[in-house]
Structure 1
C-alpha cells in the first residue's frame, strides 16, 4: 500500500513539473512591479507583522504591494499600515459562511505545512487549498513569505514566472530538526533567502545543501513612531512582547523583586498579551509586586510608551532580530538585555549602546538593571549610543538594501528570460 502511495505521489510530482515546464514557455517577462507578501495573520500584533508593514510602506514608493494574510481573525490591523498597501485574506474566519466543503476541510489537519512548524495548529486542509490555489494562480511579480511553513510552501508551489523570496525572522538553530531537513532541500528553489542577522546567515550558508541564488542579510528597519526621544527622567523600565514562555517575562518579574527592594520608587511595565498573561499576573500578586510591576496590555502606540520610560529590558531566551530593541534605541532608552544568541548579541555593543547580561541569570539581570538605575551617567551614555546605533537601521538605509536585492533578482531573471526566448526561436536558414 505504501509503495502504491509513493508511486502515486511520484506520478503527481512528474505531472506537476511537466505543467511548470509548459507554463515557463508562456510566462510573461519577469517583473517586480507587483510584490505580494505572505503573512499568517496580518491583523495580529507580533514583531514580524510590524516589520512587514514597515517594509511594505517603503516598497509602495515604487511597487504595487499587497499583503496576503492566510487568516483573518480580527476586523482591523493592530498596527498602522501605509494606505497604498492593499490586503487579501485567504481564510476569513470572522465570516466563514455556510460552505459545506469548507466546513469539512477545516476539520482536517494541514498536509502542506510541516507538523513541527510552530504555527501548524493554525492551518488545516482548507487553508492548504486556499494557499495552494493562490500561489499557483500567479504568473509574474514577486512573492515573499515570512515564516518557515510559508517559505516551504512557496518554494514548492510557486510557478516559474514568479520571483520568490523567503524571509526568516527566527534563527535556523531554533527550528525543529524535521523543519530544518525540509529547509535544506526546498529553500534552494527560492530566488532569494533573507536573514536578519549575520549569525543566522552563516548558519544557512553552512546548512543548505544548495543555496538560493541570493542568500543575504537584511536587518529590520526602525518603524515610524510618535512622540519624542525619552528625557530619561522617568523612574520607569519597560518591556514589550507577546506573552509567551520564550520571552522570559517570568524571569524579568523575578529579577524585579530584587530591583524593587533596592529601588521601590521604580516601576516596571510589560506591554503585550498572550497565553502567559494570567500566569504573569498571578506571579506579580504572589510576589507582592502590585503597583511596582504593571501589565497594561498591548499598545498600538509603542513610541509614546517608550518616551515615558528610561530603561528597556529584554529577557527573551531566543530572539531573531527584535523590533522592540530597535524601537527602544530610536527613542534613546538605556537597554539591558540578556546576551541572547543572534539578535541582541549582534545589535548591542556591550557598555556602549546597551548592557548585555551574561551568564543569563535572574540575579545578573537584576544587577544590571540596578546598575543603570544607580548610575545616571551610564544611563545617559548608553542612551546616546543607542540613538547613534539606531541611525544605521533607518528605513531609508534598510530600504536601499531591499531595492538592490529586487533589482539584482530582476536582472538575473531578465537575462534568463532572454536566453529562453532566444532558444525557442527557429534557427535561421544557412546561407548557401
Structure 2
C-alpha cells in the first residue's frame, strides 16, 4: 500500500469469541503490520479485554453504550443511544476510513456519513443476507447508499447486494485463515467436534440427534461440543435423555483450538445459518474433513463436496449420519480429505491473498 491509512474498525463487543470478532482482529493485526494506523471501537463494552490476541500497536476505544436486550427496545432506544455516542466519535475524526462490522452499527454510521465527507465508510457484512428480515433489508437499501463501499464474504451475498444496490461498489472479500497447522490430526482419533455458541443458530440439538444414530454401532466414538450459551441446560438434558452422557461432552470455549482439532477426526456443522464460518477455515487449516449442512452461507463456498468433505441438504439427518459414517469407516478417506482441505485453505484464503484484496479496495476509495 503506497499511502498508509488511518483505519477505525467498529465492532459490537470486542471480548466475545465468535467468528466476527476473530475476523475483525485478524484484519486489524494485518493492517497495522503493513504500516497503517488502526483503532478498534467496541460500542457495547467497557473495560473488556479482547478474547483474541491483538497487536499492542492497536488502540481500543470502548464506548460503553447500553445494549438493549429486546428487539422493541433496541429499535426505539438502541438507534438513539448508538447514534448519539457514535456521532460524537465520528465527528471528532477527520480523514479516517471507518469499517463497520455489525449491521446495527452499519445502519447508524451510514446515517452519519455524507458522500462529500473526507472520511470514508465501508460496510462489512458478516452474516448471510438471505436470512435477513424485510425490515433490515429495507434499512440496507435506504442507508447503505451513503456508504463508499460494501464488503461481503461470498459470491451469493455479492449477487444479493448488487440487486439491492446496483450502483454501489460491492467487494467480495472472504475472511482469511488464522493459521496453518503443520501437525496432522491424530490418525486413530475417534472424536467428532463442533464449535460454536450454544444457541439456536448452531442447531446442536439436531447434531446430538444425528450422533445418536452414529453411536448405535460406534460406541468407541465421541462427540465434543465446544461453546457457551443459553441452551446449555437444555442440551445437557437432551444428552441425558438419549443416554449419551458418556459419549457426548460439552466443554467451554478455549483459546487453544489447535489442540482440540489435533485430537479430533472430523469436524461437523449443523448450523441453520452462518456468514463465512471462521471455524470451518480453522478446521480445514488443521487438516480435518468436514461434514456440514448447506446453510446460507459458507459451507458450500468453503467445502469441495466429495473432496474436502460433504455438504448435506438442510435437515437431512439420515444423509448427514451416512456421510459421517463413511468417514468414520475409512481412515484413508479422512486423511485424504483433510490434506485436500488444508491445501484448499492455503491456496484460496491466505493472509497475503485476502490482504491484497483489502489494499485494492482502499486504493479504489
Same fold? TM cut 0.5: yes
**203, 209, 219: which is aligned to 2:174?**
219
In the alignment, which residue of structure 2 is the partner of 1:169?
A: 126
Contact 2:126–2:152 (CA under 8 A) maintained in structure 1: yes
In the alignment, which residue of structure 2 is the partner of 1:399?
A: 355
TM-superposed CA distance for 1:224, in Å, is 3.2
Aligned residues: 359
Contact 1:34–1:63 (CA under 8 A) maintained in structure 2: yes
Cα distance in 1 for residues equivalent to 2:76 and 2:200: 18
CA RMSD in angstroms, aligned pairs only: 2.3
Cα distance in 2 for residues equivalent to 1:329 and 1:122: 42
Say which one has the larger Rg.
Answer: 1
Gaps of 5+ in 2: none
Contact 2:46–2:62 (CA under 8 A) maintained in structure 1: no
Moved more, 157-166 or 198-207: 157-166
**217, 222, 225: which is aligned to 1:270?**
225
TM-superposed CA distance for 1:341, in Å, is 2.8
Contact 1:237–1:309 (CA under 8 A) maintained in structure 2: yes
Cα distance in 2 for residues equivalent to 1:365 and 1:251: 11
Gaps of 5+ in 1: 1-30, 93-105, 410-432
**236, 239, 246: which is aligned to 1:291?**
246
Moved more, 222-231 or 32-41: 222-231
Cα distance in 2 for residues equivalent to 1:378 and 1:205: 39
The C-alpha deviation readout for 1:374-407, integer Å capped at 9, x for no partner, is: 0122211211110111112111211111111112
Cα distance in 1 for residues equivalent to 2:75 and 2:261: 34
TM-superposed CA distance for 1:136, in Å, is 2.5
Structure-2 change in CA distance of 1:320 and 1:121 (3 Å): farther
If the length of structure 1 is used for normalisation, what is the TM-score?
0.78
* SS class of match (1:72): coil
* SS class of match (2:216): helix
**135, 140, 160: which is aligned to 1:183?**
140
**187, 194, 214: which is aligned to 2:151?**
194
* SS class of match (1:35): strand
Contact 1:339–1:358 (CA under 8 A) maintained in structure 2: yes
Is residue 2:11 matched to residue 1:39?
yes
Contact 1:165–1:193 (CA under 8 A) maintained in structure 2: yes
